[in-house]
A and B are shown apart, each in its own frame.
Chain A
Amino acid sequence: MHTFRSIAAVLLAGSLGLAGLTASAATPAEIQKDLETAARASTPGFSAFSAQRGKQFFNSTHGNDWSCASCHTASPVATGKHAKTGKEIAPLAPAANPQRFADAAKVEKWFKRNCNDVLGRVCTAQEKGDVLAYLLSLAK
C-alpha cells in the first residue's frame, strides 16, 4: 500500500513538474458546487449562497487589520497589490482572469492562508461560497 502511494506521489510530482499540469483542474462552477455540498452538510438551515453577503464579507475587516479588499481591492476585476510587499496581484474575479478558481487545490490553499490572515481562522463553506458567488457576479 505504501509503495503504491509512493508511486502515485512520484507520478503526480512528475506530471506537475514536467508538464506544468494541475492535478486538480476544475471550473468555478464545479468549485461552487463542491462548496454548496459542504455548506449543506455543515450549515443548519442553509438555503443558497448570496453574492450580496459575499460582497459585504469581502470588503469588511473581521477583527484583524486586513479585509480581502486590502490586497484584492474593492474591485476584484482590477489588478490588486499585496498590502505588505506591494507585489502586484492578478485580478481575482474569473471574468477578468480565467486562471482563478480553475484549480481546486490552489483555491483550498489560498482560502486557508488568507482566511487565517483576515479572520484568524478558517472560513466556513458558506463564507467561501458567498465570496465566490460575489466574484462570479462581476463582469469584466
Chain B
Amino acid sequence: MAGWKHRLPFFKPDVRADVDDELRFHLDARIAEYESRGYPHAEAVRMARGRFGDPDRVRQALETHDLARVRHTERREYMDQLLHDVRIAMRGLRRTPWFTLTVLATLAIGLGANAAVFSVVSRVLIDPLPYHDPERLVLLYSSSARDSRGFVSPNEIQQLQRSSRSLTSVAAFGWYAGYTYVGDRETLSWQGVSVGPNFFQTLGVRPALGRLIDERDVDGGAAKVVVLSHGLWRQAFGGDPDVIGRAIRLGDARWTVIGVAAPDFAPPARAPQIWTPLDLRQFLGDRRADAPILQAVARLADDVPLSRAQSEIRLVGERAAASGAPSPLPLTLLAVPIRDAIVGDVRPMLLVVMGAALLVLALACVNVAGLFLARATARGREMAVRAALGAGPWRIARQLVTETTVLGVAGGAIGVLLAYWSRTALLRLGALVLPATGAPPSIDGPVVAFVCLTSMLIGIAAGVIPALVAARGRLSPTLVDGNRGATGGRASVRAGRVLVAGQMALALLLLVGAGLLGRTLFALEHTSLGFDASRHVLSVTVALPRSYATPDSQVRFFSDWLSRIRAVRGVQAAGVIGISPWNGWNHEPIQIEHGPDGASASIQATVGRASDGYLAAVGTALVDGRAFEASDRAGSLPVALVSERFARLAWPGRRPIGERVRLDGAEREWRTVVGVAADVRENASRDLDATIYVPAWQSPQRWYEALIRTSGDAAALVPAVRSEARALDPTLPVLAPRTLDEILSVSLASTRLPVVFTTAFALLALVLSALGVYGIVAYSVALRTRELGIRAALGGKRADIVRLVLSEGLVTAVAGTAIGAVLAILSSRLLTKLLVGVTPRDPATFAAAAGVLLAVSVAACLIPARRATRISPVDALRSE
C-alpha cells in the first residue's frame, strides 16, 4: 500500500498531511469516547485537548522529524543505487579492457592537455597578481603613433605626483643597470632596477626580511642601499637572515643591504636581482627632465574609474609637454591596467592555445560518445533483456550514464596526473614567453576543479546519446527475432556518422589553425632581418661606472677594449652600438637639410649610435660610400650613415652621399652622409626601418652593447671578452652575453609556443578522428556482415565491396570536413593578431588541411573495407 509511492522518483510522501491525519484521528477518537460517556460535545473537546497537551507543538516536532527522515531515506536509497550502478559499470568495463583503455587514453589526453594549459592560463590571466588590490594599479606609458608603450619623462611623473586627483600615488622606476658584486670569493654581475621611494608602497607589497626602499632612502639624494630579490638572497647569501644591515661592495662603492623581497614578488617588468633607490629630483634640473627615460606605476584612487583617470592623466601630460621642451612627436600619456601591461602581449596567444586544447577536449568527448554508442548498440541484446526484466528506460539510461561518468572521472584523474608530470616541460616552453606573475603555474585546486567538472560533464554528455539510442532501440524487436538489433543498429550508425562528422569538423579547425600558425612561424624564421641573427655573433653589454666621467675616458675604454677583442683568435669583426635594433632602438625625428623638394624636411627614423666595426660585426651590408672608421670621433667632421629606406624617403632619386642631416633638437651641427647601409628590421614581425647611424665616439656614453663576429660558435668567446674587459678594469661587469640567434629566438618564442601546441593538438585530433572513422566504418561493416556476405555469394566483385564501404566512410568524412571548413572560415579571423605573412583564410592552408584529413580518413576506412572483402558468404550466413 505505502510502498508504491517510494518507487516513484519524484513523489515525496506528504509528511504534513500524514502527521495531521494521525493526530486528528487520536483527538477525534478521544472526543468520541468522552461523548459516548455522556459529555456534551464542547466539554468532550475541551477534555480531549487537555489530555493531549499542545497539539501544535507535537505536530511541529513530528513534521520536523518526519521530513528529516524522508530526506535521509532518499539520500540513502540514492547512494545505494549509485553504488550499485558504479559496481555494474566497473564490471562491464573490466569485461572489455581494450574499449576501456581506448576511452581512458582519449579522455586522459584531452583532459590532461586542458589541465596543463588551464594551469598556465589561470595563473597568467585569472589569478590575482601578487600586489595589494591589483585591480587598481596602472602602468603609465607615453604613447606615440609608432610606439604605444613608450617610457615617460621625470617631468611628467612629477606633474602627476603633484596634481593628479585620480591617482593616489605615482611611483617611478628606472631601467636595468648592471652592478658588479665584489664578494670575498667571487665577482658577480647583477642586474638592478632603481625605484622611487614610494614604489613598493604603491604596489602594496611586504618584504620577506628587513624593509623595502622608502622615503628615508632618498632624503637628500639617493642613499646607497639595496633590496635583494629572494632568489639572489638564497643564491648568493645562502638565505642568511643576518644579511640585513651588511655592507656589500658593488662596483667601486659600498652599499648597505636593507631588505629582501618576498619570494613571490614579481615586479611589473622583467625581474632584476636588486633594487636601489631612485631620486626623481636628480633628473629635474637638466635636459633629462623631459626625456622618456623612466617607467611609472600608479594606483587609482578608490571609486575613480579608469576612463576618468585616463582623461585626467592625458591633460597632465599635455600640460607637462607644454611646459617642457617642445616635442616633435605628438605623445599621449596612457594608463594601462597592470594586468594588461604585463600579460597583454601573451593573452591572444594563450587564448589560442586554450581554444585548441578545448577543441581537442570536445573532439575526445565526441569520440568517447561514438565509442559508447557502438558499445551500447553491440549490447542491444543485454539492454533488451534488462528492459524485459522490468528495468525502465530511465533506469537503463542511468546505468549507461553512470558507466560514462565512471570513465570520465577516471580519465580526468589520469589527465591530472599527466598534466602534473608534463608541468616541467610546459614551464620550460613557457618560460621565454610568459611574464612573471608570482608563483609558477601549478596543478592546484582550481585546475583540479576544472578537470573534475569537465570530466563529469563529459561523462554525462557522452552517456546521453547512447542512452537515448538505447531507449529507442528498446522498441525494436531485438529479442523477438534475434536479428542483432538491425533497426537499433542502423539508427546508431546514423548517430555515429553524425558524431564522426563532428570529429572531422573539429579536427579540420585544429589543422587549419596549426597550419596558419606554422606558416607564420616559417615566414618569420625566413624573413631577412638585414643583419645576421646567427650563432656567429655574440652580444655583450658593458656599463662603465660613474668614475668614467669624461667622454674621453669612455671612448678610450671602449676603443681599447674593442681592439683587444679584435686581436683574439677567430674574431672577424667587433663594434659597439648604443641601443641595437633587437633591443628596440630609439625612434627620433631627423632633420634633412635639403629634402625631396629641396627644402628642409623632417622624417622619423631609428637611430643607431654605432662604432666602427659594428656593421661588419652584425653583417649589415654597406651599399654605398664608406662605413664608420676609428677616426670618426669628437672633433672630426660630424658624419652619418643612412639606410636605403631612409635614403629613398629623404632624397628620392638622388645619391645620398654628401647630403646633410642632424638629430632634431639635440644637435646644432649638420652631419654629412658618408655611406648607405642595407635596411634592417627590429624583428621578423616588424617592417623595415628607416635608419640613421651616427658614430658612437662623436657623442659617447657610458654603456654600450658590443657585437663580436667569429667564424665559429660565438658563445665560446665569452671568457675571452670578459678577460679583455677585466684586463682594462678588473671590477667591470660584462653583462648578458648571448648570441644573436638566442636573442632573436626569444622574439620568435611567442609565435613558436602556440605553433607547438596547436600542431600537437592537431596531430592528436587527426589520430582521434581517424579512430572515429575507423570505428564507425568497422562497426557498420560488422552490422552488414550478412548483406556483404550475400553480395559476395551472388558474385559481387571485391572492388565493388571496397567501393561500397569506402564511399560510406568518405561521405561522412567529406561532410565533416566541409562543415569544419565553414567553421574555420568563420573563426580563423580570431587568429589574425598572431598571423604574419599569411591571411586567416589562406586557401593553400585550408586545402592542405582538408587534404591531410581526407587522406587519413581514407586510410582509416581501408582497413574495414579490406576486411569486408574477406567475408565468406558461409560464415556470414552462419553468424546469424
Are A and B interaction partners? no
A interface, CB within 8 angstroms of B: none
Q: Identify the B interface with A (CB < 8 A).
A: none
